[in-house]
Amino acid sequence: MKKKILVVAGATLLTLGLASCGGETPSSSDTTPSSSTPIAKRYRVAFEVDGERWQTLSVKEGETITDKVNKPSKEGYDFLGWYLGDDLIELETYVVTKNVTFTAKFQKKLAEDILNVDDVKDASKSYHLVLGWWEVNDEADPTKVTSGLTKDSVRLFYGNLINYLKKTGSTDENIAAISFRNYSTATVAEMGEKINADGDVDIMIGVGANIFTTAGVEPYVDTATSKFSTKMGEANKDRYVALIKDARDLAVDVYAWLQTDAGKASFVRELTDKEIEDSLAPVTINLTVNVHGDTLATTLLDDKTKTVTMPAITVPDGKIFKGFATSEGGEVALNVAIDATLKYDDLKGLVTDGATTLDLYPVFEDAPIVTDDLVVYVQTGSYLPEAEAKLLEDRFNTTLTDEKVSFSFIEGDAATFTAAVQADSTIDVVIGGNNPLKNYPMHTEGALANAGGKHFANTSRKVGILNSVSKDHLALAKTFYAFVTNDAVAYSLHSTFWTKAYDWVTEAEVASIKTGIETSVRNYLGLEEMDTLDGKYNVTLDYYEAANTKVEDLGAETNALRDGKGTDLLIGCGANVTSKGKVEVVEKKDIDVSIVKASRMVALVHETSLAREVYDHYFTVSVAE
């Protein structure tokens, strides 16, 4: 191994004296003095960030290095300083005496520096506004995506919302009292349970159209106006914004703003101050809407809250209503129900630039052909009122499972009925007077016969299976024939009261409603004073008062009635009967205060002739003068 020889310039040379050879040693005055000073030592000072070399300096011994180091940065983190092992080093006072390596240490930015969208309810806090968001979160299938909402995309929306709130008067203290919560779960039902458990959520974003049904969350007003869809999330998909029952006034204002162009854009990009300010400026509306139906209904829309007047629209036989076109005979431009509630925001997308008039024409399409299991034609008139014929239909339907029977009621004399039957080759069974029916060839297993007692007031009405009966329908035709020729089986109109221990519907109101229902049914069937429903038609009016008081339990109790068939009329329910109560209904409406003083509703659960008669004509809603 070679030795390294250090040659130091300016070092004092030692002269070998004579003494080394036995001679005299020179005196100090004979020594050559040095005029140079020693060179200062230098050390390597290194700085590392996340295991990588950040900077290296060469520093003289005894110096400090404060002004020679570049401060590192890391997104989402705060730089804490330079550490030597576990010790924070103050470079201003650190004196270099050796080779040394410093390590940068960071700390994640504090939560308050990042918009929190994972808040949880704190019962001790008073909130200014509560929002929630949902994205499917299924551990069994992590690939599932609904809205594509992520924490980053929700924070984008949250930032826009805060800017809007500040521009509309919310203070920093108000902003601090906003709670934005993550209700992401594997299923919609689980989401609904969490929202309902907190009980103070104003607005939900990222949800589906089933927020007020499957999720069991109650709407602010009704399911039609308490939700709207818009694009959001990284998937840029249409998802719903929902306004929840008992929402704060501020939430109602926010919900309205979110339906503006700027509000909808707030879900997908950062808004400018001008966009927000422009969205708050009053909008001048001057749009005349002409809706063409059985008559022409014209409405001048001069503000966003005004509702378009809708005319009656008769759907032609064999057709179904598909929506509205903006020109006569045109294609559907507005896909809504025939009795939809329309406002400016629903129509503005159909208005061409500069136009002040919009015409809406109904669009009809051929109804889909439904294959029936049995086709029955009934002659109605003075001898057989349609009410009795429909009661027969309802009575027989209670004996069926999945079979579908088509009843056609033809009012008129023998000639009218005969013409109708001859025009339809699909008829299997006929019911009516002897005069028209005696001319039709009957099947050997369904000869012309009288109807059984209590089916019709005039039991001379005849029933027969036509000889042209469809082979596929013959078995059900024979069952129906036997049903009609025998005495009528018992049939009931079943009504259920949700009284909540007579808080919703009082005991006196229950008694009065029972009397009103009986009167309505008797008038409908044309009973005389001495007649009884049971004696005349083998019909009873059955009532049940639900025992539970919570809506969820009331719904379960109601659905379990009559071996799971439920009830026909539900009296005293609220708007949440379908969402929270989980009772499927045909329709529901408010009960007039003359019948029930509390603000309650009546729901038509099963579409039967008696239930429909009571629902339409007894539970009427008076119009305030």
Average pLDDT over residues 398-425: 90
Report the distance separating Cα 207 and Cα 134, nearest Å: 6
- Please count the CA atoms within 13 angstroms of the CA of 278 that sit on its side-chain side: 9
- Identify the CA nearest to 250 among candidates 171, 307, 195: 171
What confidence tens digit (pLDDT) does each residue in 513-540 have? 999 999 999 999 999 989 999 999 999 9
Q: If you average pLDDT over residues 247-264, what whole number do you get?
A: 94
Domains and CATH numbers, the chain: 42-111 (2.60.40.4270), 129-280 (3.40.190.10), 287-366 (2.60.40), 374-485 (3.40.190.10), 491-617 (3.40.190)
Nearest to 65 by CA among 53, 73, 78, 56: 56
What are 305-347's pLDDT values in tens digits?
889 999 999 999 888 898 999 999 999 999 887 878 898 888 9
246 Ramachandran zone, left/alpha/beta (phi>0; psi -120 to 50): left
d(CA 577, CA 63): 81
Give Cα 35 distance to the centre of its chain.
93
29 or 583, which is more confident: 583
**Neighbouring residues of 267: CB distance < 8 A, sequence distance ≥ 6:** 153, 156, 157, 205, 230, 231, 232, 233
Dihedral sign for Cα atoms in the order 498, 502, 504, 508:
positive
| d(C-alpha 341, C-alpha 346), whole Å | 9
Length of the chain: 625
The candidate with the shortest Cα–Cα distance to 495, out of 556, 565, 568, is 568
pLDDT at 13: 36
Three-state secondary structure call for residue 204: strand
pTM of the model: 0.45
Query: Where does the pLDDT of residue 553 fall: very low under 50, low under 70, confident under 90, or very high at 90 and above?
Result: very high
Q: Is the pLDDT of residue 1 over 70?
A: no
pLDDT in tens, 211-253: 998 899 999 988 878 999 999 987 778 899 999 999 999 999 9
